[in-house]
Every structure is written in C-alpha cells, then in structure tokens.
Amino acid sequence: MISIKNVSKKYDNGVPGIKDISLDIDQGEFVYVIGPSGAGKSTFIKMLYHQLTPTTGNIVFNDFDYSTMRPSQVPFLRREMGIVFQDFKLLPRMTIFENVAYAMQVIEKTDAEIKPRVLDVLRQVGLETKVRRFPSELSGGEQQRVAIARAIVNSPKVLIADEPTGNLDPETSEEIMDIIEKINNQGTTIIMATHNRDVVNGRSHRVLEIAGGNLVRDEKQGAYGIED
Ligand code: ADP
Ligand code: ADP
C-alpha cells in the first residue's frame, strides 16, 4: 500500500533528517516508528503525509506517486490519511461535535451525512455524552479521543500518529492505545511514531527503529529494546 524507495531528507541548513530508507507497508499493518529524540521519526512521518518532500527517492501510496503528483492532488491524498498529533490540534472555539464535523464539511458532505457519522465515531471513542463540550473542558485523554474521531471520520485507509500518547499519563495512554488497536482491527493501517517503551512492549507489532536518520531495525513483532 505504501512503498518507500531510497528516501532521504536533508534540511536546508544541511542537517540530515533521514538517510536512504526503503521499505513497504501493507494494508492493515500496525507499524511503530521508534527511536530516540532527534532520530528522524517526525521527518519520516511528515514525508508519508506529504508535508515534507524527500530530497532523494520516492514514496508511492496506493495510486498517489509523490514524485509526479500535482499540488492540487494533495487534498485527495489527505482524505485517505487520518493524522493525529501529540498536541491534539483541536479547534478551541468549536465544540467536540463541530471539531469532528468540520473534517466532513471540508470535503463537502451534506448535513444529513455528517450528523449520524460524527455521532457514530464519537460513540466509538466513548465521547457520546460530551458532544456539546469545548476542548478546554476535556481532559488530555479525552481531547486525544476527539482528535482520533476527527482523523477517522472520513474512513481513511491509514491512520498516521506522531507521538499520540506523548502528553498522556500511562493509564490514559493505554486507553488511547485500545482505541487505536480497535481501529486497526477494523482494517485501517496504523503508522505510529512513539518513544513510549511501555506502549511498544505491551502490544507487539512491527517495529521500525530509526537512529541518526538510518533505519536500523525492521522487525515483524518487535519490542522497544533500546535505551534512550
Ligand atoms: P524525532 O522526531 O525522531 O525527534 P526529527 O525528525 O524531528 O526527529 O529530527 C531529525 C533531525 O532533523 C534532528 O537532528 C532535528 O534537529 C533535525 N530537524 C528537524 N526539523 C528540522 C528543520 N525544520 N530544520 C532543520 N533541521 C531539522
Ligand atoms: P484526567 O483525570 O483524565 O486528567 P480531568 O480531571 O481533567 O481528567 O477531568 C475529569 C473529567 O472532568 C473529564 O470527564 C472532563 O471532561 C471533566 N472536566 C475537566 N475539566 C472540566 C471543565 N473545565 N469543565 C467541564 N468539565 C471538565
């Protein structure tokens, strides 16, 4: 589903973010991207969702060939990818319902389509009683559940998460991981950057370890395994 060939990224100031990585990710896989701070995880993740352009090499995601794609196609690519961040990135002046609904409004779904679907995904993440709240009225774990609901509301093929448990306590992180695991069990590919050792060791999945911009390990059922 995603083919990454000889991808590197050198920043304008000469810093090498990623060095010559090649790998494939299949539909339905659950992939952790691990490594110490500064290893290149975010750089790798940002290239996957076409936020950063590789300096060399190419990425192909289903029918989207990033090297030949026009900028006007990027919104169509993003419709097939849900993205979740460490800091949630919710819109503070919108309610929980509106934050999730907004993702469907921008792709011009009708109100009749939006309402039942938004309520359905908010139920899936356990927030059906908080639809009228604002983000500031929710705990961190709840805000991340809203962000996940927003990311999956348009039924993406892949959910990309950059340190989704980075701001959360261990118990709340487990709740978030239960939700992400459930989404994976429904067939959605998961690609998740994390340096949360307990999360990675608690749920065995494919592990890509990045160190100094290099892919140093690619294991089918990996553990965290390194100190940082
Ligand atoms: P990680 O997500 O694993 O912490 P990053 O991908 O953020 O690592 O960073 C990899 C390397 O690239 C680091 O040396 C970092 O300082 C550098 N880097 C990240 N973003 C930029 C940028 N916009 N400009 C220059 N260097 C950057
Ligand atoms: P946690 O224990 O996960 O950090 P909090 O103590 O922040 O969570 O919140 C516990 C509950 O109280 C949550 O269900 C949250 O929605 C609700 N809550 C927290 N802050 C507010 C607020 N300012 N207004 C309304 N509800 C709130």
The overall average pLDDT reported for the chain is 96
CA 145 – CA 167 distance, rounded (Å): 13
Distances (CA, A) of 46 to 77, 122, 145: 13, 26, 21
Structural domain boundaries of the chain?
A: 2-222
Query: pLDDT for 142-187, tens place per residue?
Result: 999 999 999 999 999 999 999 999 999 999 999 999 999 999 999 9
Query: What class has domain 2-222?
Result: alpha beta
Q: How far is the CA of 199 from the centre of ligand 2 (A)?
A: 24
pLDDT level of residue 225 (50, 70, 90 thresholds): confident
* Closest approach atom of ligand 1 to CA 37: 4
Which of 9, 43, 162, 208 has most ligand 1 atoms within 8 Å of its beta carbon, as the pocket-test mutant? Answer: 43
Task: List Cβ neighbours of 55 (8 Å cut-off, separation of 6 or more).
Answer: 8, 9, 10
Query: pLDDT for 35-62, tens place per residue?
Result: 999 999 999 999 999 999 999 999 999 9
**Structure tokens belonging to residue 186:** 């429904």
CA 146 – CA 25 distance, rounded (Å): 27
- Which among 155, 130, 150, 19 is positioned nearest to 85, based on CA atoms? 150
Tell me: pLDDT of 228 over 50.
no
From edge to edge, which strands make up the β-sheet containing 64-65? Answer: 16-25, 2-10, 56-61, 64-65
| ipTM for the whole complex | 0.70
* Closest approach atom of ligand 1 to CA 35: 3
pTM over 0.95: no
